[in-house]
Structure 1
Amino acid sequence: MAGAELTPESTGSEMFRSDRYFKVWQYAVGHRRLLLRSSRDRPPDTRIDIHFANVDLMLLRPSYDGLIIRRADDEECEKVGLDYGVEVKPGRLFVLGGDLRSFVVSAPPQWHEDEGAMDDPSWFGQMRGTR
Structure 2
Amino acid sequence: MELVAGWDRPFRVWHYSVSYRQLLMRSLADVAPKRVDVLFSNVRFFHGPTDFDRLEIHTGADFTPPGAPEIGGAPGRWFVLNAESCYLYGTHCQWHEDDGNAMTPSRFGPLKRTD
Normalising by structure 2, we get a TM-score of 0.87
The separation in 2 between residues aligned to 1:105 and 1:88, in whole angstroms, is 12
Correspondence for 1:69: 57
Spell out, residue by residue over 1:64-116, the C-alpha distance to the aligned partner (whole angstroms, 9 max, x if none).
11111000333x23x45x632333668610000112x3111001200000001
Aligned match of 1:87: 72
Residues of 2 paired with 1:84 and 1:55: CA distance? Answer: 13
Structure 2: runs of 5 or more not aligned? none
Q: CA RMSD in A?
A: 2.1
Consecutive unaligned residues of structure 1, counting only runs of 5 or more, are: 1-11
Q: Larger % of strand: which?
A: 2
Between the aligned partners of 1:50 and 1:40, the Cα distance in structure 2 is: 14
1:29 to 18, 26, 38: 18
| Residue 98 of structure 2 corresponds to residue 114 of structure 1 | yes
How many pairs does the alignment contain? 115
CA–CA distance in 2 between the matches of 1:55 and 1:19? 24
Distance 2:6 2:98 in 1: 17
Secondary structure in 2 aligned to 1:61? coil
1:97: which partner in 2?
82
Aligned structure 1 segments of 4 or more residues deviating by more than 6 angstroms = none
Gap change, CA 1:19 and 1:65, over 3 Å in 2: same
Q: Which residue number corresponds to residue 124 of structure 1?
A: 108
Report sequence identity in percent.
34
After TM superposition, give the deviation of residue 45 of structure 1 in Å: 2.4
Partner residue in 2 for 1:56 = 44
